[in-house]
Amino acid sequence: MNPVDILRDSLSFFARNLRPLAVLTLPWLLLEALLRYQVLERFGASGGLWDMLVSLLCYPLYTAALLIFLEARTQGNTPRLSGVWGAALLLWPRFAILAALTSGLVMLGFSLLIVPGFLIMAKLAFAENLLVLEGRAPLDALRGSFRLSRGHFFTLLACILATVLPAWLLDAWITKHFAEAAVAEIALQTLSGFLQLIPSIAVYRIYMLVRQTA
């Protein structure tokens, strides 16, 4: 698997499906941006726990919806918005547990000189796909991702680095330059979150190729 081809395919899919992806995810992304702004206004830099809780509330919803949509489009189907959101809501409890476990492991990795954090991200990259698309329990999805990523680690790592790092830099730039402009910051954070769907699309693309050859 060539990371360049995967990234090109992911960007192409994102561009071709811009409108349905926006309808599917922007309401949750806007809610997340609004809540994060309120947390920042009320607690400042000390609101890290509340910020994480906001992520655990919203991230599983729009990411599960994205993965369900990706799977349907791969099979040539056009899913109904209400059906996708309904399925995402049903998955939320398990997905929130998975997101909490993954975030904790990645943060632990970043506390160990940063590099281990990216390595853990790559090893756990398939966990969300396994939970949403195969119905795995959170711990089983984590174990399955470790197994499934064998032989594909560097492809995953390259795609994650190529998509996640620019997104984080954009987030930092928005926070630095628009902290005092509420509407602009919320709008730009929503746009940033929308662009951060691309890493999930890239990982799904790798997952799909691995699944076909398994």
Q: How many domains does the structure of the chain reveal?
A: 1
Instruction: Phi first, then psi: give them for residue 60, nearest 5 degrees.
Output: -60, -30
Structure confidence by residue, pLDDT tens digits, 116-151: 788 899 999 999 999 999 999 999 999 999 999 988
Say if residue 143 is exposed, middle or buried (CB neighbours under 10 Å; 0-12, 13-18, 19+): middle
Distance CA 13, CA 162 (A): 17
Nearest residue to 78 via CA among 27, 11, 19, 6: 19
Say if residue 66 is exposed, middle or buried (CB neighbours under 10 Å; 0-12, 13-18, 19+): buried
User: Do residues 57 and 34 touch, judged by C-beta distance below 8 A?
Assistant: no
User: Do residues 100 and 57 touch, judged by C-beta distance below 8 A?
Assistant: no
Structure confidence by residue, pLDDT tens digits, 161-182: 898 888 888 877 877 777 677 7
Sign of CA dihedral 156, 157, 162, 165: positive
Q: Which residues form the domain of 102?
A: 3-213
Give the predicted TM-score (pTM) of the model: 0.92
The distance from CA 158 to its chain's CA centroid, rounded to whole angstroms, is 16
